[in-house]
């Protein structure tokens, strides 16, 4: 933003990506959608979610780079996005690390006790298991 | 494009040096908003992963309550709407007012198609007794965990749908403004910023689709 633009700088052209590029990106996104649906049917156990996430991150990168024009964005806009993503990773990482070190189960209102353990004074689950 | 030949004079407010600086300022402001949207959705995604790590098998089983066909259809519709949105921005930069309005309306229509499919899916969940709370009637194995998954399903897709409804409202406003010749090749920031918002909503769905619809298909 602070960089000095010479008088020939053009607002329009600089951020413009050609229509064939947009169509190619759209095609790639469609192909990746098909790949993620097909790969979901292959049994990889719990690694299916990992494969799905890798494909989703690839698609997200395409959208951010071309559709959202970050390819031509300033480093400042990139820094904003990256810091947001890092913050989310911190949140997930710390929460899941906490989970690894925990042996109690969680009680949620309306859902009841998961794994049958209820904290003291908690109301009964709304749907006691039948039979 | 403020070349003399096209006769377009870019408009910029008095606090900016030039149209380029004004454009970069709106872009940064929009990305700051989207950055906090990443945090907003990130918290819900963190909740999802937390419980996925606790109950991976139950979550994978519960995922099969959702219709893969409808989810995949909506993915195609939403990515298609992102394409029409970039064409709307492109038309604002280079094309005619008519083309710009047409692409904006096309984006709105695709957004509405997405929401209609979503509404159909929600209705179906009510009929099947898969809505968490009083209406939940599934009593198979891991019923509480299934209910938890569906809680997350409604929270995540509900927040996403809310963003889409807001986006469609903004698109409607843009169509009206475009009709009054607000935008030209030298000033089209509102169209570009709405595009960023719309693509972000698409981005959220790109992650929601595999996490909700695909994890249990194997």
pLDDT single digits (tens) B199-218: 999 999 999 999 999 998 88
Per-residue model confidence as pLDDT tens digits over B117-136: 999 999 999 999 999 888 88
Distance from the Cα of A78 to chain B's closest Cα (Å) equals: 9
Whether chain A has a CB inside 8 Å of the CB on B113: the answer is no
- Distance in angstroms (rounded) separating the CA atoms of residues B12 and B19: 5
Q: How many helices (H) and strands (E) does chain B have?
A: 6, 0
pLDDT digits (tens, 9 = 90+) for A4-48: 333 333 444 455 688 999 999 999 999 999 999 999 999 988 889
B218, A41 Cβ separation under 8 angstroms: yes
Q: Which of B31, B76, B90 has the CB atom closest to A33's CB atom?
A: B76
- Bridge partners of residue A45, in order along the sequence: none
Which residues of chain A make contact with B23, given a CB cutoff of 8 A?
A: 11
Q: Any CB–CB contact under 8 A between B43 and chain A?
A: yes
3-state secondary structure of A107: strand
* Test mutation, A1, A50, A84, chain B, max B CBs within 10 A: A84
Q: How many beta carbons lie within 10 A of that of residue B141, not counting itself? A: 10
What the block records as the tokens of A89 is: 């990773």
Where are the domains positioned within chain B? 41-214
Tens of pLDDT along B8-20? Answer: 566 788 888 888 8
pLDDT tens per residue across span B159-177: 999 999 999 999 999 999 9
The CATH fold of domain B41-214: 1.20.120
Q: Is the pLDDT of residue A106 over 50?
A: yes
Q: Which residues of B touch A66 (CB under 8 A)?
A: 86
Chain B residues whose beta carbon lies within 8 Å of the beta carbon of residue A12: 1, 93-94, 185-186, 188
Residues sharing a CB contact under 8 Å with residue A94, sequence separation 6 or more, in sequence order:
none
SS3 B52: helix
**DSSP states of B155-213 as a string?**
HHHHHHHHHHHHHHHHHHHHHHHHHTT--BTTB-HHHHHHHHHHHHHHHHHHHHHIIII
Q: Closest CB to A88: pick one of B39, B56, B195.
A: B39
């Amino acid at each position: 933003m602070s960089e000095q633009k010479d008088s020939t700088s053009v607002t329009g052209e600089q951020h413009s990506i050609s229509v064939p590029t947009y169509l190619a990106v759209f095609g790639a996104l469609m192909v990746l959608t098909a790949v993620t649906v097909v790969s979901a049917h292959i049994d990889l156990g719990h690694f299916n979610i990992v494969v799905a996430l890798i494909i989703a991150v690839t698609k997200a990168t395409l959208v951010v780079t071309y559709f959202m024009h970050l390819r031509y964005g300033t480093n400042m806009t990139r820094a904003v996005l990256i810091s947001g993503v890092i913050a989310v990773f911190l949140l997930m990482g710390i929460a899941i690390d906490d989970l690894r070190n925990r042996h109690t189960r969680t009680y949620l209102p309306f859902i009841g006790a998961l794994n049958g353990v209820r904290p003291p004074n908690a109301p009964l689950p709304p749907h006691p298991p039948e039979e | 494009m403020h070349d003399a030949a096209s006769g377009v004079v870019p408009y910029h407010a008095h606090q900016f040096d030039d149209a380029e600086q004004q454009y970069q300022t709106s872009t940064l402001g929009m990305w700051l908003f989207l950055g906090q949207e990443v945090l907003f959705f990130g918290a819900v995604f963190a909740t999802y992963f937390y419980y996925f790590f606790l109950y991976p098998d139950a979550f994978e089983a519960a995922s099969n309550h959702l219709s893969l066909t409808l989810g995949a259809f909506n993915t195609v519709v939403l990515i298609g709407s992102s394409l029409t949105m970039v064409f709307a921005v492109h038309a604002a930069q280079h094309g005619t007012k008519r083309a710009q309005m047409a692409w904006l309306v096309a984006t709105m229509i695709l957004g509405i198609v997405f929401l209609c499919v979503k509404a159909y899916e929600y209705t179906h969940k009510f009929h099947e007794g898969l809505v968490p709370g009083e209406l939940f009637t599934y009593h198979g194995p891991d019923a509480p965990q299934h209910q938890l998954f569906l809680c997350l399903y409604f929270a995540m897709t509900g927040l996403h749908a809310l963003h889409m409804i807001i986006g469609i409202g903004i698109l409607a406003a843009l169509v009206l403004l475009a009709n009054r010749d607000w935008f030209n090749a030298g000033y089209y920031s509102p169209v570009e910023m709405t595009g960023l918002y719309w693509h972000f909503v698409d981005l959220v769905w790109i992650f929601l689709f595999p996490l909700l619809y695909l994890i249990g298909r194997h």
